[in-house]
Amino acid sequence: MELCKDASVKMNDGHRIPVVGFGTYAPDTVPKSKCEEAVKVAIEVGYRHIDGAYFYENEEEVGRAIQEKIADGTVKREDIFYTGKLWSTFNAPEMVQSALKKSLKSLQFDYIDLYIIHTPLSLKPGDDLCPVDENGKLIFDNVDLCATWEAMEACKDAGLVKSIGVSNFNRRQLEMILNKPGLKYKPVCNQVECHPYLNQRKLLEFCKSKNIVLVAFSALGSHREERWVDQSTPLLLEDPVLNALAKKYSRSPALVALRYQLQRGVVVLAKSFTRKRIEDNFKVFDFQLTEEDMKAIDSLNQNLRYDLCQQFLDHPECPSICQTK
């Protein structure tokens, strides 16, 4: 597969998404100013796809970084592909557009390139992003995701977003949207945890059959934040197969893991807060894995989820519409 640093794929609505994106989630221990600086570095390096979310609570800093690189002539607004996400406390259809406008204001944007439903679960509306009861259990809201999707379609019709999609959806949840009576726009993408230990083969095949782009987060394993990640899980980038291939190509294990996704037709997100790693992760276009290499990485799959939030969606206590089994 021939790919260059400007490579993008056409989505089902005609818009294009760059195949490598820069993730902006940061643990609470990372100063927001560091995220702002990292976005500026990423744009200088060549990233044009910036992945953010209201839930990350740093859209103001991300927006400021983008605006600064526009102001200094590095890029124009139309050069940047920004992904935003509708957080789960705003899934009620009457709240969707106001939530989007909050993000637009923080980012200083007139429109968002791609807006996606962050998770298929809905939480109690309010100022608390993760509302819990007196026992520490999340408080859910009963929302019809098809109605949420109709509100997303209205945002597209209003010109506030160019493309709309979903995140953390399984096949059944995707089919619910695709089979919705009166569907106006199909989801253009499904952003999910995806890496060699969780290659999402069946979901990828389904998405391809419906012309839906699969976008991989946690493509390098995880950031190991304790509240979201089981600390007993193995470190992906220490895997012997990835390290052997890294040695073969004189590349890092991270680059091998990223290149693997690109050759599968998956859009991949990379995240770092250091200039060297931001630069290194973008050097994914100048080598190619063989078919044998790809099969070796495929064999690493063990359906291992690092993301505890996604594991929660599998739990019996989660509302039935969110269950991924």
Q: What are the catalytic residues?
A: 56
Cα–Cα nearest to 109, from 157, 148, 59, 53: 59
Cα–Cα nearest to 61, from 80, 81, 39: 39
Rounded (10°) CA dihedral 204, 210, 213, 215: -40
C-alpha–C-alpha distance, residues 318 and 85, integer Å: 21
Q: How far apart are the first and last CA of the chain?
A: 33
Question: Cβ distance 17 to 9 under 8 Å?
Answer: yes
Cα–Cα nearest to 271, from 72, 42, 14: 42
C-alpha–C-alpha distance, residues 70 and 73, integer Å: 5
Instruction: Report the SS3 class of residue 164.
Output: strand
C-alpha–C-alpha distance, residues 14 and 113, integer Å: 12
State the chain's maximal CA–CA distance in angstroms.
55
Cβ neighbours for 5, distance < 8 A, ≥ 6 positions apart: 20, 46, 282, 285
Cα–Cα nearest to 258, from 19, 90, 14, 77: 19
